[in-house]
Amino acid sequence: MMIVDIVCPIYKNYEQLVSLYDALNKQVDVKINKFVFPMTISDDEEINNKIREFIKDKKIICFEVTKEEFSHSLTREKAIKEYCESELVILCSQDVVFFDQHAINKLASSINDEVIYAYGKQICKNHSIERYIRKKNYPKVGYVVSKDDIERMQLMAFFASDAFSCLSRKHFLELNGYQGYDVMFAEDMLYSKFVLDAGYKKAYVAEAVVAHSHKYKLKQLYNRYYETGKFHKEIGLFNQYKSTDSGMKLAFYVLGQALIHFNIPVLFRWLPDMAARYLGMRKGKK
């Protein structure tokens, strides 16, 4: 039976934690060796203590960080390097919902000596712009990406999501994790680049499915893309790759889908939504 460790950063939401833990334990054809849940301390001490009690009762491994200390890259790296021990490590977000009981097995089965990083398919339950974006970014058929594909795929060659991913811990240590980069965004994309640059491969596993939905307000969306642009500006590792064409294609794909399905709320939201993304990204890059 496949043996994995689970790494999931948690913050504030007790109900999501309980739901995720129950869902993980219902996964079949896989043995979970360790649950490692780094906890970011919130301003609500009552919720913090409630989460601590649950973690203690379930014997989950946990270390705490403040909001100022939390890092999407280095917090995960600490969990993987210092607390995990299984060859396969599953990374997930606390708000994902597993589509079936075989998702982890399907994802972890893709890892081998060449493919050392893989991510699953995400679907969106609400009928929003995010639903169509998920549909475009997570197609029906999976694929494997190597260094040879970068010229053709450009920035999309590095696309991945740690909302539901799997990595080889041995190779993660070999590549020195996130190589010292302290980022609050796109650590999955960063690690994808290290994987491909080193001559290894990453996989998109369309059969491993989770639901992952958000309801961003325009200001939240602007801030999110501002952070994305800031990430590209500060890191600088992706500046040589093209992204404008794929961004425009995605925007008009969403519009086309909304027209086909006569999705009135999306049609009204489309222009301000895309403007918030574009302006946030542009401002962040400056």
Contact predicate 116/167, CB 8 Å: yes
Q: What is the CA radius of gyration of the chain?
A: 19
Query: Which tens digit of pLDDT belongs to each residue from 171-222?
Result: 999 999 999 999 988 999 999 999 999 999 999 999 999 999 888 899 999 9
DSSP run (H or E) holding 130: helix 129-137
Band of residue 18 on the pLDDT scale cut at 50, 70, 90? very high
pTM value is 0.93
Residue 244 pLDDT: 53
Query: Which tens digit of pLDDT belongs to each residue from 85-133?
Result: 999 999 999 999 999 999 999 999 999 999 999 999 999 988 889 999 9
Taking residues 12-31, what's their average pLDDT?
A: 95
User: Is the pLDDT assigned to residue 246 strictly greater than 80?
Assistant: no
Query: Which tens digit of pLDDT belongs to each residue from 54-84?
Result: 999 999 999 999 999 999 999 999 999 999 9
User: Is the pLDDT assigned to residue 33 strictly greater than 70?
Assistant: yes
Task: Please state the length of the chain.
Answer: 286
Query: Which tens digit of pLDDT belongs to each residue from 121-142?
Result: 999 988 889 999 999 999 999 9
Identify the structural domains of the chain with CATH numbers, from first to last: 2-211 (3.90.550.10), 218-285 (no CATH)
Percent of the chain having pLDDT more than 90?
A: 79
Structure tokens at 284: 């962040």
Structure tokens at 11: 């913050």
User: Is the pLDDT assigned to residue 239 strictly greater than 80?
Assistant: yes
User: Is the pLDDT assigned to residue 275 strictly greater than 60?
Assistant: yes
CA gap 7, 36 in Å, rounded: 5
Structure tokens at 45: 């001490």
Residue 230 pLDDT: 87
- Mean pLDDT score across all residues of the chain: 93
- DSSP assignment of 111-171: --SSEEEEEEEEE-SSSSHHHHHHHHHS-SS-EEE-GGGHHHHGGGGG---TTEEEEEHHH
What sign does the dihedral 175-168-94-141 (CA atoms) show?
Answer: positive
